A and B are shown apart, each in its own frame.
Chain A
Amino acid sequence: MQTDALVLLGTGTLLVFMGIASISLSKNLVKTIMSFQVVLFGANLALFASGLGTVNRLTTDVFVLLSLALGAAVEGVGLAIILAVYRKYGTLDPSKVRRLKG
Chain B
Amino acid sequence: MDPSELQALLFSGALIGTVSFALFTPKVSSSLIALFYASVILAVIFTLYGDTLVGLVQMATFAGAISVLTLSVILMTGESRLALGVRKLGGVALVALLLFIAVVFSLMVGGGSASPSSYPDISSQVLVFLWTNRPWDPLILIVAFASAMVTISNLMSREP
Chain A interfacial positions (CB closer than 8 Å to B): 2-5, 7-8, 10-11, 14-15, 18-19, 22, 28, 30-31, 33-35, 37-38, 41, 44-45, 48, 52-53, 57-59, 61-62, 64-66, 68-70, 72-77, 79-84, 86-88, 92
A80 with B126: CB separation less than 8 A? no
Question: Knowing that A34-B28, A83-B156 are A-B contacts, what are 17 other residue pairs whose CB atoms are under 8 Å apart, sorted by A's residue number?
Answer: A3-B5, A4-B5, A15-B19, A18-B20, A30-B79, A31-B23, A31-B31, A38-B22, A38-B23, A41-B19, A45-B45, A65-B53, A65-B126, A69-B145, A73-B147, A83-B73, A87-B160
Classify the secondary structure of B's interface with A.
Answer: helix
Classify the secondary structure of A's interface with B.
Answer: helix
Given the contacts A77-B152, A92-B79, A84 and B158 also touching, CB distance less than 8 Å:
yes
Q: Hey, which chain B residues are within 8 Å of A68, CB to CB? A: 54, 57-58, 61-62
A48 to B46, CA, bound (A): 8
Chain B interfacial positions (CB closer than 8 Å to A): 2, 4-5, 7-9, 12, 15-16, 19-20, 22-24, 28, 31-32, 35, 38-39, 42, 45-46, 49, 51, 53-54, 57-58, 61-62, 65-66, 69-70, 73-74, 76-77, 79, 118-119, 122, 125-126, 129-130, 134, 137, 141, 144-145, 147-149, 151-152, 155-156, 158, 160
